[in-house]
Structure 1
Amino acid sequence: MVPLGKIIQILEKNFQVRVEGSCDGEEKIATVQFLTPPNNDVRIYQPYVLYLAVTTDFNLPDESVVLLIDAALVSPRKNTLSINRPLNPLDVHNVINMEIINSISIDKEKEEMFSILQSGGGIKSILEVAHSYLRNPVVICDTNFSIIEGIPEHHNPIDFEEQGSREILTIASIESMHKKDLINKIFKSKDAFFTYNEISNMNVLMCGVRINRSVVGLVVAAEQANPFKDIDIEYVQVLAQMLSIEIQKRGNALAKGELKYESLLKTLFDGKLSDRSYVEQRFSQLGYQLSSYLYIITFACDLVTDKHINPRYYVDQLNYICKRGLSFIYRDTPVMLLFSDKPASPFSDEEELRLEDFLKLNQLYAAVSYPFTNVLNTQYYYSQSADILHFLKKDVPDKNILYFEDYCLFGLLKNVEPLIPLQTAIHPDILSLRDYDLKHNTDYMNTLRNYVFADRNALKTAAALNIHKSTFFYRLSKIGDILGVSLDNGRKLFLYELSFHIIDFIGLESIN
């Protein structure tokens, strides 16, 4: 059966006309019939039928859908469409009927694809059936853009590079996807879409493999052997749905078992090791040399605890993204011990780009600790990293990689209980400004907040508030007058900044 909305689109495209009227575009049509005298009265409602008529002189149940040809709508009858152009009714009938026949054929092919899924043939068997319909190469990648399976066996040195036993998309190809905003499109769109790959010089068809709100894989078909057809979009969408089910069924099979370093890391994270030389020796025996600096990265999102997904599925991909890291499952959550020779940044530019894409597609967040040098302090920096994720419950950040440096003060405030004594640490000048704003409908508290958070920079503050700098200086002077203080006092400004952090932590509405 064909959705009525799709039939309307096909008629408008084929005949270059406008179909008027209102109807439910999702209503399914299985057959098309003419309404011609004396058979223009149908007393009993027949579902899934589209009636073609050349006159408004008919008698049908209200539920029946009618398409008028070369006739204008003269009454607001429900489920009535019209083409006010002199078209040949037989041509219209044939176009609609051909789409219905194609739909029946496609439905049979979809059933065949789903029968493979039910038979337990696995990802490769599903791809083989899809390839027989698409007649073009098709692959499924994980969200690290590493190929899980391809039919025919994939080998494309232009877009992909070999890393160990895997083929992974080159950084140049990923940057090209970013320029065309394809990562966002994959994340936001539930439908397949065509795009052109400038690097390989061919058209491709993409569709995200989704589980709940997250994208856990990507189907890519390349227009290499045969030209794409419009129906290929439906094939790829069905393929993505099937692969989603298969990944949920076989999540454990896609994920690797316990890694050789996992036992050592668990003991280290539990704080049960006290001999630094012994720990370094154990890492060396496993083939890893500790770097000058270490980071702990904790990953979290709703999907990690989803019963359909084994979190080890993510561990395998994370180890490919950050090759200087050792990822494993700790307290049911993916965690990484990352080695680095630089304290300034834990990631290279390429790692950060790949990690951001991976996190966004999977709706994950990465919480990064401060760098540290003594491996025996791992448990403390794990707590530091895990503390950051506490604030995801209060606010959803606009980035997926979170650094403890930005949440350090919140980490300290979290351990101050109860909240009422913490409220008393808010400087009274801030509360005075709040009360003044409420009484006089001004914005001085927000102005002061922006000023202290913009490193006391007047131009940055004016830009953030979208006001002229002279307006900002007037407000700053007025704030000084209201509070009776000089805003050149560094100690006072630090206390104001601390107060705003406390307000952010406990919430303005919590302040009495």
Structure 2
Amino acid sequence: MDLNNANIPVIDQTKYALRLLELLAQESGLEQIVEMGYEMLGNPFSINDMSNKCIAITSPAQLNDDPVWNEVVTSGYTSFTSWSFYVSNKLVELVDKNESPFFWTDTYSKYPRIMGSIKISNKQIACIAVCAHERPFQESDLELTSLLCKALSIELQKNEFIHYSRGLLHEGFTEDLLEGKVTDEKVVSERLRILNLKFKRNLFVLTIDISNFSSSQTSLTFMRNEFEKKINNSKAVVYAEKIVMIISCDNEKHFLKNEITSLKEFLKSNNMYAGISRCFYSLVEVQHHYFQSLNALKLGMHINKEAVLFSYEDYAIYHFTDQCSSGGDLKENCHPALLRLIEYDRQNNTNYTRSLYTYILSSKNVTESASTLNIHRNTMFYRIGKIEDVMNVDLNNSNILLLLHLSFKILEFLKIPLP
């Protein structure tokens, strides 16, 4: 791409073009190009993506007497009020249609602006807004801005900013939620209004492992679209080498029963695995529940790879045991009375350990436990008494029962078979 422009003094033109090309060749990154742009223009500027999120801004950035500029500085976005003003005044349309940067003034901003479009393959992916705060604009600033826009276009083609991009407006916002960059309910509400996004009350995060995905069969973009088609009211992005979806629904039970069934079949047919978070109700909690879906995926694949979809609700206790494992030998967290019962079974060729686990899983229902073990109800009563004697515990103590249940899960996580 040609970085040269006419009507700039030849010395400056050559100097800036060569320095920008050098930064691009050295892969110095977006920040270095922004610093170079500030030196070129002598005024601050911001770069916003098509969701109106600020992806880069010059430093120093704070302008005490221009509230529109400071909206971007403080929140990383233009407010819905400002955005609506610029849409109604055709600025957004003008930026997209103009091939070259242009001067812009309005009653909303104190200082004049230069507005320019940053395009890739003739498609706008971002815009630059230069603010005449430190010196008045000159005609040559338009061509310097054009030069900078071309360099930014080249940089953003290498940058993860457009990696896997379909040009959907929600992607940048979704990634901010996943990275925990948006924690204010008011900001979330503003972004939803600008992007015209609506989510239903019940929310889930679904993370899909694409490590077995074969790009020779179909494109990743196509696959991502297919997942969105499979689940109503969902938004998907490719993030951290996985497909991540934010899903919303009116009825949690209906979603888990019906849509999850078809999703399982689709995952199985494409040799993929997925983890799904617990239900939640606020988008500011997306990152926390994204981590839940990751842990469900990791633990599910470790414990039960025969399945393809793992719910965090089913693996939360394993997550707890996994966290405990970082502090040393995980087996040491098992209740010693359970280890004593296991040893007793091994020495005496009995099966009290399995009887105890069945009793705990059936919520201390003696009749149900006996039926599961295919023994008489009185036999189950006898075994419970014997188990309490061997372990020297009271199984009516809810704290003891919880610790024993956790101990069984630790053994299951460690894949230690019961006698």
TM-score normalised by structure 2 residue count:
0.55
Partner of 2:405: 497
Q: Write the distance in 2 (CA, Å) between the matches of 1:347 and 1:330.
A: 24
| 1:314 aligned partner, one-letter code | M
The structure with the largest strand share of the pair is: 1
Given that 2:209 and 2:242 are in contact with CA atoms closer than 8 Å, whether structure 1 keeps it comes out as: yes
Partner of 2:192: 283
Partner of 1:403: 311
Q: Write the distance in 2 (CA, Å) between the matches of 1:386 and 1:307.
A: 26
Partner of 2:122: none
Q: Mark the CA change 1:487 to 1:509 in structure 2 (over 3 Å): closer, same or farther.
A: closer
Q: Please point out which of 385, 394, 401 is paired with 1:486.
A: 394
Q: Mark the CA change 1:321 to 1:363 in structure 2 (over 3 Å): closer, same or farther.
A: same
Q: Write the distance in 2 (CA, Å) between the matches of 1:317 and 1:352.
A: 14
Q: Give the C-alpha shift of residue 297 in structure 1.
A: 0.8
Equivalent residue runs for 1:146-157 within 5 Å: none
| 1:371 aligned partner, one-letter code | C
State the secondary structure of the residue aligned to 1:323. coil
Q: Give the C-alpha shift of residue 277 in structure 1.
A: 2.1
State the secondary structure of the residue aligned to 1:442. coil
| 1:411 aligned partner, one-letter code | H
Equivalent residue runs for 1:86-97 within 5 Å: none
Q: Deviations over 1:150-179 (max 9, x none)?
A: xxxxxxxxxxxxxxxxxxxxxxxxxxxxxx
Which of structures 1 and 2 has the larger relative contact order (alpha carbons within 8 angstroms, sep 6+)? 2
Quick check: 1:338 aligned with 2:247? yes
Q: Write the distance in 1 (CA, Å) between the matches of 2:370 and 2:417.
A: 26
Partner of 2:290: 382
Across the aligned residues of Structure 1 and Structure 2, the Cα RMSD in angstroms comes to: 2.7
Q: Give the C-alpha shift of residue 466 in structure 1.
A: 3.3
Bigger radius of gyration, 1 or 2? 1
Task: Flag as ranges the 4+ runs of structure 1 deviating above 4 A.
Answer: 305-309
Q: Please point out which of 408, 422, 445 is paired with 2:330.
A: 422
State the secondary structure of the residue aligned to 1:303. coil
Given that 1:338 and 1:346 are in contact with CA atoms closer than 8 Å, whether structure 2 keeps it comes out as: no
Q: Give the C-alpha shift of residue 382 in structure 1.
A: 0.4
Partner of 2:179: 270
| 2:365 aligned partner, one-letter code | N
Structure 1 gap ranges (5+): 1-254
Q: Mark the CA change 1:362 to 1:274 in structure 2 (over 3 Å): closer, same or farther.
A: same
Q: Please point out which of 413, 423, 435 is paired with 2:321.
A: 413
State the secondary structure of the residue aligned to 1:508. coil
Quick check: 1:321 aligned with 2:233? no
Give the share of equivalent positions with the same residue, in percent.
27
Q: Write the distance in 1 (CA, Å) between the matches of 2:228 and 2:300.
A: 24
Given that 1:444 and 1:479 are in contact with CA atoms closer than 8 Å, whether structure 2 keeps it comes out as: yes
Q: Please point out which of 470, 473, 478 is paired with 2:378.
A: 470
Given that 1:366 and 1:402 are in contact with CA atoms closer than 8 Å, whether structure 2 keeps it comes out as: yes
Given that 2:178 and 2:290 are in contact with CA atoms closer than 8 Å, whether structure 1 keeps it comes out as: yes
Given that 1:297 and 1:338 are in contact with CA atoms closer than 8 Å, whether structure 2 keeps it comes out as: yes
Equivalent residue runs for 1:129-140 within 5 Å: none
Partner of 1:432: 340
Q: Give the C-alpha shift of residue 457 in structure 1.
A: 1.8
Partner of 2:355: 447
Q: Give the C-alpha shift of residue 346 in structure 1.
A: 6.9
Partner of 1:28: none
Quick check: 1:298 aligned with 2:207? yes
Q: Write the distance in 2 (CA, Å) between the matches of 1:444 and 1:281.
A: 59
Q: Give the C-alpha shift of residue 322 in structure 1.
A: 1.2
Q: Write the distance in 2 (CA, Å) between the matches of 1:509 and 1:382.
A: 32
Q: Give the C-alpha shift of residue 384 in structure 1.
A: 1.0
The structure with the largest helix share of the pair is: 2
Q: Mark the CA change 1:352 to 1:384 in structure 2 (over 3 Å): closer, same or farther.
A: closer
Give the total of aligned pairs.
255
TM-score normalised by structure 1 residue count:
0.46
Partner of 1:70: none
Q: Write the distance in 2 (CA, Å) between the matches of 1:258 and 1:332.
A: 18
Q: Deviations over 1:276-333 (max 9, x none)?
A: 2222222233332132232111112642377765433321111112121111211111
Partner of 2:170: 261
State the secondary structure of the residue aligned to 1:482. helix
Given that 1:268 and 1:378 are in contact with CA atoms closer than 8 Å, whether structure 2 keeps it comes out as: yes
Q: Write the distance in 2 (CA, Å) between the matches of 1:352 and 1:301.
A: 18
